[in-house]
Amino acid sequence: MSDDNQIFIPPSFFAVYSDARQRLSEPIGVVRERYEICEDLASHLVGHAQIQHHTEVPVESEILRRIHAGLATPEAGVSAAEAGWIVQRLAELLGWPGPEPAPAPAPAED
């Protein structure tokens, strides 16, 4: 058995790559690779978030919002769904409440 198969991918990350019928939209190898990238990024952002919390932005939800905004740019190299997962994982690693869900867009007026 290869080491790649020893990586535990949490259900929350599988959901990023699953359709309504719980089928993966990408091959398992791609999902595993993206999970490793996203988990590493969330772990890497812990120190950054802690520094922000202690020096510039004392409000945890604002730090998470700003990090999400940065991850949501095309230059970040992650999808919108991955960005949401990374921020949620970051909150878990920090022991902070998860980010607030994004507000639903207002209905168009006629």
Residue 51 forms part of a structural domain:
yes
Residue 109 forms part of a structural domain:
no
Q: Over the chain, what HEC string results?
A: CCHHHHCCCCHHHHHHCECCCCCECCCHHHHHHHHHHHHHHHHHHHHHHHHHHHHCCCCHHHHHHHHHHHHCCHHHCCCHHHHHHHHHHHHHHHCCCCCCCCCCCCCCCC
pLDDT for residue 99: 78
Residue 21 forms part of a structural domain:
no
Residues 79 and 32: their CA atoms lie apart, in Å, by: 15
pLDDT for residue 102: 55
pLDDT for residue 90: 97
- Percent pLDDT > 90 in the chain is 75
Residue 42 forms part of a structural domain:
yes
**Residue ranges in the chain whose pLDDT is less than 50:** 1, 3, 104-105, 110
Overall domain count for the chain? 1
pTM summary value:
0.84
